[in-house]
């Protein structure tokens, strides 16, 4: 049986995430304790106890989500479950790098810290917005957004049929949202601190590209399906180049999941929440898809 592990991104965070894994597994404790030391703050306490407004800060949500997934990767490995293919949604892509052996635990933490700081500094959060556009096809959305190129507003996350996330300036997203609503869309504003995967992240991408020079990447042990390409990559150089490009590029999750389902027998979401498994079920509804976000989930997981 071939297995794909997929890892969630920002928006899946929740106060209390990872606490049960930390309590139950020594390897999880090592991962969280290492993060507290590397990051110079108690990210474990923020994950376990919040408060929510502190946890949702990009600089805390991104490393926190990675840690929960990393701890669950260890727990799955103890059960004999190892991936043949990996992918992650936005921040989750760096978790996929770690799962594929491209970066060490410490280097992944440092890179996520650099990424979150660069993204936070890219563009003022008070003038940034993202919104999920429900019940409208991508062609119609892109036709309407073609008038907002200079604002800018773009289709940032192609999550599943009927759910496309737009990203850009606050005023631009509001104006585009009105036109999309007139076409029958339902808009849900997202509680994020930046216009992620849009041209407004370019400053952060440039800053991140400079920071990348201090990191050593190695070839992936299993293929990583990249967000911006929806195709597998294993070579260290291409994976390194991708990190800064990814933050200004759309997340092509629909195409990525179709490719993944063509290569494996089962998909397991590994991390906080069940957002990705829900999206995957809408993209490939008849495919075996599981979600593990807790010790109980792993105990109950049966792939036979």
CATH number for 216: 3.40.366.10
Same domain, 97 and 28: yes
CATH code of residue 140 = 3.30.70.250
pLDDT for residue 13? 93
In angstroms, how far is CA 40 from the centroid of its own chain? Answer: 23
Together in a domain, 35 and 85: yes
147, 249: one domain: no
CB atoms < 10 A from the CB of 50, how many?
Answer: 17
Task: Please state the domain count of the chain.
Answer: 2
CA atoms of 72 and 271, how far apart (whole Å):
7
One domain, residues 111 and 211: yes
Sequence-separated (6 or more) residues with CB below 8 Å from residue 39: 63, 109, 113
Q: Which two tokens stand for residue 70?
A: 């990393």
Average per-residue pLDDT for the chain: 95
Q: Given this model, what pLDDT does residue 60 score? A: 93
Task: Report how far residue 250's alpha carbon sits from residue 180's, in angstroms, rounded to the nearest whole number.
Answer: 19
pLDDT tens readout for residues 165-215: 999 999 999 999 999 999 999 999 987 888 999 999 999 999 999 999 999
Contact 274, 11 (CB under 8 A): no
In this structure, are residues 98 and 83 in contact, taking their beta carbons and an 8 Å threshold?
A: no
- List active site positions: 90, 197
Q: Are residues 281 and 154 in the same domain?
A: no
231 with 82, same domain: the answer is yes
For residue 192, the model assigns a pLDDT of: 81
On whether both 161 and 283 belong to a single domain, the answer is no
Last residue of a domain, one of 145, 165, 194: 194
Where the chain has pLDDT below 50, the residues are none
The whole domain housing 59 covers 3-121+200-300
Please check whether residues 33 and 182 belong to one and the same domain: no
Does 176 lie in the same domain as 210? no
Instruction: Using the 3D structure, point to which of 177, 194, 211 is the last residue of a domain.
Output: 194
Q: What pLDDT was estimated at residue 10?
A: 87
Q: 48: which residues sit within 8 A by CB, 6+ positions away? A: 15, 16, 17, 18, 19, 22
User: Do residue 155 and residue 245 come from a single domain?
Assistant: no
187 and 145 within one domain: yes
160, 179, 194 - which closes a domain? 194
Same domain, 43 and 65: yes
What pLDDT is stored for residue 120 in this prediction?
A: 87
Burial of 126 (0-12, 13-18, 19+ CB in 10 A): exposed
Please give the distance of CA 48 from its chain centroid, rounded to a whole number.
Answer: 20
CB 20 within 8 A of CB 284: no
């Amino acid at each position: 049986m071939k297995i794909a592990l997929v890892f969630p991104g920002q928006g899946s965070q929740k106060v209390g995430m990872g606490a049960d894994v930390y309590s139950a597994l020594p390897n999880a404790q090592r991962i969280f304790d290492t993060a507290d030391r590397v990051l110079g703050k108690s990210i474990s306490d923020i994950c376990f106890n919040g408060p929510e407004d502190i946890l949702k800060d990009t600089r805390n949500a991104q490393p926190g989500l990675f840690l929960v997934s990393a701890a669950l990767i260890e727990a799955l490995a103890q059960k004999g479950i190892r991936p043949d293919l990996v992918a992650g949604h936005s921040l989750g892509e760096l978790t996929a790098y770690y799962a594929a052996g491209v970066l060490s635990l410490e280097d992944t933490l440092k890179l996520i810290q650099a990424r979150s700081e660069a993204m936070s500094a890219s563009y003022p959060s008070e003038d940034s917005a993202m919104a999920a556009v429900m019940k409208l096809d991508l062609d119609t959305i892109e036709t309407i957004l073609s008038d907002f190129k200079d604002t800018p507003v773009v289709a940032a996350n192609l999550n599943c049929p009927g759910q496309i996330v737009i990203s850009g300036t606050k005023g631009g997203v509001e104006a585009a949202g009105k036109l999309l609503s007139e076409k029958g869309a339902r808009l849900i504003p997202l509680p994020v601190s930046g216009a992620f995967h849009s041209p407004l992240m370019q400053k952060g991408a440039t800053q991140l590209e400079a920071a990348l020079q201090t990191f050593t990447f190695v070839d992936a042990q299993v293929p990583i399906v990249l967000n911006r390409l929806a195709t597998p990559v294993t070579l260290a150089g291409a994976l390194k180049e991708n990190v800064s490009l990814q933050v200004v590029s759309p997340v092509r999750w629909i195409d990525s999941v179709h490719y993944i389902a063509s290569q494996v027998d089962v998909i397991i979401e590994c991390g906080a929440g069940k957002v990705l498994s829900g999206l995957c079920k809408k993209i490939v509804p008849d495919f075996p898809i599981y979600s593990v976000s807790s010790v109980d989930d792993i105990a109950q997981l049966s792939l036979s």
